[in-house]
A and B are shown apart, each in its own frame.
Chain A
Amino acid sequence: MQIEDLYELDDNDLLIAYANGIPKSAEILTDRFMPKIFSQAFHRVQNTADADEITQEAMFRLWRIAPNWKHGNAKVSTWLYKVVNNLCIDCLRQKKPASIDTVPDPIDERENATDLIINQSRAIALYNALSQLPDKQREAVSMRHLEGISNQEIAEKLELSISAVESLIARGKRKLSETLKSQKSNLGYEDD
């Protein structure tokens, strides 16, 4: 098999290819999943070091399960989502809630420092508001609006119908709006 052909394979086939002795497929899988996993982990734990660790551990578990992976198994992305979710839960159990100090300074070339501070405080407020949502609502809203995952994919990952996902997202956003509205004046908005 040519290396170019590997890029055409789906995730399950790539994992099986890795188990069957094609190390290059690990590189392709890493490039496909690392940014998504990192993003999912970061939005949950709000800490770069922890997100790094979770991403590394999740991928390590993927390599380990490769020899036993079969075509009939769940999608690799769904499996990874669950692993990352569990790792995030474990991590959050051990850590305190996020504070502004734990969020890294973004690489931002804007000269306006006020914008930067407002962005940070809004992100922190959003994370805090998200943490008050029920688990499924939080996961659905995070996936849809922070990670940019489609409703259909969210439905697969959460094992729900698409209409249930839409409902979760709508309710979650309504609660977020209510929570954040009360903090408007501290987050760069003028009072009504």
Chain B
Amino acid sequence: MKMIDKKKNKDFELEEFFQAAKEISPAPSDVLRDKILESSKHEFKKLEAYSIRQNQNLWWKNLYSKYGNFYLITGYGAIASICIFIGFSYPDLSSVILPMDKQINEAEIIFADPIIDLSILNLEE
């Protein structure tokens, strides 16, 4: 019994120390709360910007999944750019190509195989 009393007394003393520490402990100030909420708002704005960026990334990801990988799409883009460049650089490209076409036909006639008798083409008639 004496031992129990002694133990109780010991704990009671320690409890007084804990109580004292709690009593001198200040409460967090309103200023601190305001600062924390301010930081949350600041981070929230960053978060919004981040989610916009994420959406943009999502757009690119969708594009890649539809039309192939990055290199393929870059290739398409490069080819399209070259075509547009040529289109603007040579607006009268048709006048260049048509004479070329004529020259090709002439060349075909010149280099045609002389052994083939073209008259056999008319045998069936």
Q: Using known A-B contacts A56-B35, A173-B14, determine if residue A103 contacts B24 with beta carbons closer than 8 Å.
A: yes
Judge whether A180 and B26 touch: CB under 8 Å: no
How many Å lie between the Cα of A27 and that of B15 in the bound state? 34
Judge whether B26 and A48 touch: CB under 8 Å: yes
Judge whether A55 and B13 touch: CB under 8 Å: no
How many Å lie between the Cα of A189 and that of B12 in the bound state? 13
How many Å lie between the Cα of A103 and that of B44 in the bound state? 35
Judge whether B21 and A127 touch: CB under 8 Å: yes
Judge whether A66 and B47 touch: CB under 8 Å: yes
Partner of B33, one of A18, A34, A43, A104: A34
How many Å lie between the Cα of A18 and that of B51 in the bound state? 13
How many Å lie between the Cα of A60 and that of B41 in the bound state? 10
- A145 part of interface (Cβ distance < 8 Å): yes
Judge whether A18 and B50 touch: CB under 8 Å: no
- B8 part of interface (Cβ distance < 8 Å): no
Partner of B36, one of A34, A48, A123: A34
Give a binary string over A25-38; 1 marks a CB under 8 Å from any B CB, 0 the rest. 01100110011001
Tally B residues with Cβ within 8 Å of A. 32
B48 proximity list for chain A (CB < 8 A): 21
Judge whether B32 and A55 touch: CB under 8 Å: yes
- B64 part of interface (Cβ distance < 8 Å): no
Judge whether A64 and B14 touch: CB under 8 Å: no
- A125 part of interface (Cβ distance < 8 Å): yes
Closest to B16 in A: A122
How many Å lie between the Cα of A31 and that of B39 in the bound state? 14
- B22 part of interface (Cβ distance < 8 Å): yes
Judge whether A52 and B24 touch: CB under 8 Å: no
- In A105-162, the 8 Å CB interface with B consists of 106-108, 118-120, 122-123, 125-127, 145-146
How many Å lie between the Cα of A79 and that of B33 in the bound state? 20
Judge whether A106 and B35 touch: CB under 8 Å: no
Judge whether A30 and B17 touch: CB under 8 Å: no
How many Å lie between the Cα of A123 and that of B18 in the bound state? 7
How many Å lie between the Cα of A63 and that of B47 in the bound state? 9
How many Å lie between the Cα of A48 and that of B39 in the bound state? 20
Q: Using known A-B contacts A67-B47, A126-B20, A176-B14, determine if residue A55 contacts B25 with beta carbons closer than 8 Å.
A: no
Partner of A180, one of B14, B35, B44, B47: B14
Judge whether A52 and B17 touch: CB under 8 Å: no
Judge whether A107 and B26 touch: CB under 8 Å: yes
How far does the Cβ of B123 sit from chain A's closest Cβ, in whole Å? 82
Q: Using known A-B contacts A18-B40, A23-B40, A177-B13, determine if residue A56 contacts B25 with beta carbons closer than 8 Å.
A: no
- B78 part of interface (Cβ distance < 8 Å): no
Closest to A141 in B: B18
- A/B interface sample: 15 pairs, CB < 8 A: A18-B44, A23-B44, A39-B25, A51-B28, A55-B32, A56-B32, A60-B43, A106-B26, A108-B23, A119-B20, A123-B17, A123-B23, A126-B21, A146-B21, A173-B14
